[in-house]
Chains A and B, each alone.
Chain A
Amino acid sequence: MTATLVQQLINGLTVGSLYALMALGLTMVYGVLRVLHIAHAAVFTLGGYGGLAVYQATGSFWLALAGAMLAAVVAGLAMERWVYWPLLGKPPIATLIASIGLFIGLEELYRIVAGPEPYAFAVPLQLPEIRRGPLLVTPPQLLVMALTAGLLIALWLMLTRTALGLALRAASQDQEMAAACGMRVRGVVMANFAIGSALAGAAGMLVGIYYNSVSPTMGDVAGYKGLAIIVLGGLGSIPGTVLGALVIGLVETLVIGFVEFPLPRDAWAFLAMIAVFLARPQGLLGVK
């Protein structure tokens, strides 16, 4: 029982790490623009396809990761340039609808270009398998957790130690004040999109490797769950998002592992989110 529990904890942490990478971009964009970037899920899927394409061409994991992140950054910046920025100042509903349109259109485009069948994404990893008694951490799990930890630490250092990080935090707190202090807000917004998209691209590729599958609709569940996570963690709060992602990953893995529940795993994330909304609209770590 305990061994299974610990094993499920590891599985949950892995899934939670992937959610965190995916959801950080959503929360960062919300932080500066106050819009829900639904199409972020399409950026995530692009990371999966981009990584797979580069991996098949070069056979190098690191090049593939760079390719996935680069493709995601280009897509994210293009969305900022042609969709979100021009719609700034319109009512939130307009931006939201445009973002949904962008998402469903891109998803269909992936289906048309790459076909509806999922691709396998098998990468032989040069990583050890960790065994402690009955406990097992597989190489893909190790990869996901190590890479997520690395990216999160890099993000944290960037946010707290660099001028750009200071600008990002300032802009998400009070954009007008930041502009009044002489910051180029547009540049900060673009940096947010670039960083968030890069993380989502990496997440897309890692999800592809972890489940050994890249498909046009892989962004669906990830995207909707990303929304639930950033709400749970308090919109715009980066530590809250990471916490929310880990909580959702752990809870759903444990619930699926131990309790016979009559609802699909994804419905639970939404029920949790609706409950949080009604009880604590500012999220777990959000401030009113």
Chain B
Amino acid sequence: MYLYTVATLVGIYCILTLGLNTITGIAGQISLGHAAFLGIGAYTAAILTVTYGWDFWPALVAACLTAGVAGALVGAAAIRVREDFLAITTMGINFVVVGVFLYFPFFGGSFGIGGIPSPRWFGGPLAKPGFLVLTLAGLVLALGVNLWLLRSWAGLALMATREDEDSARAAGVDVRRFKILAFSSGTALAGLAGSLYAHYLTFISAGDFGFPFSITILCMLVLGGIGTNRGAILGAVVLGVLPELFRPLADYRMLTYGAILLALMRWAPHGLVGDESWLWRILRRRAAA
């Protein structure tokens, strides 16, 4: 049972890092508020199923849509605000979203929302192995979205925006549209993760979706190798599993994350398996030989 829980949570982290990779890795728009969209998805799913008695599936779709629309709004803000400023804006959005969850009774206030039902499948509740399969399906979907983005014309436009926004615009890329596209698809994935998170844990509260968790997601992505799907998944698996293997690490989690971020930026900005990372270059050379 414990293994299923760890695996399911790691799967959810993977969906989150893949979503953040769309925004920060592919489109180059830094977001320090990814957990806020996880929260928006989780709260949407929880309120629709608990308060309004919706079924799991329509609530899941609604969670993706709500998070995606919220993300599109942030993307629209990202048209005016760049780089450092976008980072603080998204950080601020994270605080505001958590504040809203915490202060409005509609969102359960400081008590959060409990009693979120498990999804039902052919008339019976989905057990833990079934939920893991569901999470993996979500992961495959997230990976599919990113692979499609990377291979499509839209992906080229996003990467051009990342490398040099002004040149991209001069080359005829409608930077505004693609920023909104990147944000809304990345945050819709966070909404998907949020729905799974809420239904798996059956209890959510505002504190779960704060700025530290946004940093954790960013740390996973940076560790694996920002801009690559394999890096997003590897980072989520490593940082999701390590604290379970080494308990002391769980106690000093933020210290470890801080040290990892600092050390990576200083000495290995491409992470473990990013395109220009040391390990990946060796692997590629091996594959070529």
Contacts and interface: CB of A to CB of B under 8 A. Distances in A.
Q: How many residues of B sit at the interface, in one of the four size bands?
A: 35 or more
Contacts of A96: 30, 84, 87
Interface residues of A, number: 40
Nearest to B251: A112
A150 interface: no
B100 interface: yes
Nearest to A265: B99
A112 B252 contact: yes
A267 B262 contact: no
Chain B contact residues, majority secondary structure: helix
Interface in A71-105: 83, 86-87, 90, 92-98, 100-105
B260 A277 contact: no
A97 B261 contact: yes
Given A92-B84, A274-B77, A224 B255 contact: no
A83 B266 contact: yes
Contacts of B83: 92-93
Contacts of B96: 263, 267, 270-271, 274
A231 B95 contact: no
B144 interface: no
Interface in A246-288: 262-264, 266-267, 270-271, 273-274, 277-278, 281
A36 interface: yes
A262 B28 CA distance: 35
Interface in A175-221: none
Given A35-B84, A109-B255, A224 B91 contact: yes
A45 to B, nearest CB: 14
For A87, A93, A94, A264, the residue with the greatest tally of chain B CB atoms inside 10 Å of its CB is A93
For B84, B219, B266, the residue with the greatest tally of chain A CB atoms inside 10 Å of its CB is B84
A174 interface: no
Chain A contact residues, majority secondary structure: helix
A251 B188 CA distance: 35
B88 A95 contact: no
Contact of A108 (B254, B264, B266, B269): B254
A267 B99 CA distance: 6
Given A93-B30, A267-B99, A281-B81, A105 B88 contact: no
A228 B92 contact: yes
B258 A103 contact: yes
For B87, B93, B103, B260, the residue with the greatest tally of chain A CB atoms inside 10 Å of its CB is B87
Interface in B121-161: none
Given A224-B95, A277-B77, A104 B85 contact: no
B212 interface: yes
Given A98-B265, A281-B85, A270 B92 contact: yes
Contacts of A107: 254, 258
B247 to A, nearest CB: 15
Contacts of B222: 97
A266 B103 CA distance: 12
Nearest to B226: A93
B78 to A, nearest CB: 10
Given A262-B103, A270-B95, 5 more contacts: A96-B87, A101-B219, A104-B215, A108-B252, A263-B100
What are the 4 A-B residue pairs with the smallest beta carbon separation, nearest first? A105-B258, A101-B261, A270-B92, A267-B99
Interface of B: 24, 28, 30, 32, 77, 80-81, 83-85, 87-89, 91-93, 95-96, 99-100, 102-104, 212, 215, 218-219, 222, 252-255, 257-266, 269
